[in-house]
Amino acid sequence: MIDPAGFVTSQLGHIPAHPLYETERVLSLQLGNLYFLLAMMSIAILNTTTEPRVVHGYLVVLAIADIGHVAATYAIMGNEAFLDVGSWNAMTWGNVAATVLLFITRSSYLLGLFGPDRVPATKTAIGKKKR
């Protein structure tokens, strides 16, 4: 949202920077808005639900999206550039390595590797904790 040109031109380090087309600029800003939306949804869902099924469902959806994110990056980079980890720029590390790390963390939680779910104390309709 702050630097659409820098964001767009850094996606693939082997393509030279260029002045952005208006379509590239608007897509960059819309993507930034979607990232903000996902952050707000995460805060809302994970901090308001007391249902483990909701958390699990949300994490499954995010894990599936992680796979799609890495697959899209791979499809555009191609096999040779994707496997040449030494040539990755910071954006590629974020698009691939950080996403894979998030996928591993989400999957580990869903597999129970962090222990059983902990359900927060429920509250009554008027906001006081049940005793």
Is residue 9 located within the same domain as residue 39?
yes
Res 114 pLDDT > 80: yes
Is residue 89 located within the same domain as residue 29?
no
Is residue 86 located within the same domain as residue 28?
no
Res 130 pLDDT > 60: no
Is residue 5 located within the same domain as residue 56?
no
Q: Which domain holds residue 9?
A: 1-48
- The 10s digit of each residue's pLDDT in 24-38 is 889 889 988 999 999
Judged by average pLDDT, the poorest of 16-20, 26-30, 90-94 is 16-20
Is 90 contained in some domain? yes
The mean predicted confidence, pLDDT, of the chain is 87
Rounded Cα distance between 1 and 7, Å, is: 9
- Give me the pLDDT at residue 24, please: 86
Is 128 contained in some domain? no
Is residue 24 located within the same domain as residue 61?
no
Number of structural domains the chain divides into: 2
- The 10s digit of each residue's pLDDT in 38-61 is 999 999 998 999 899 999 999 999
Is 68 contained in some domain? yes
**β-sheet bridge partners, residue 89:** none
Is residue 81 located within the same domain as residue 58?
yes
- Alpha carbon 20 to chain centroid, angstroms: 25
Is residue 7 located within the same domain as residue 66?
no
**Mean pLDDT score, 115-131:** 67
99 token code pair? 């996403």
Is residue 90 located within the same domain as residue 106?
yes
Is 129 contained in some domain? no
Is 10 contained in some domain? yes
- Give me the pLDDT at residue 13, please: 66
- Give me the pLDDT at residue 119, please: 80
Is residue 63 located within the same domain as residue 102?
yes
Res 123 pLDDT > 90: no
Is residue 25 located within the same domain as residue 56?
no
Q: With the CA atoms of 45, 49, 52 and 56 taken in that order, what torsion angle do they form, in degrees rounded to the nearest 10?
A: -10
54 token code pair? 């909701």
Q: With contact defined as beta carbons under 8 Å apart, do 52 and 46 qualify?
A: no
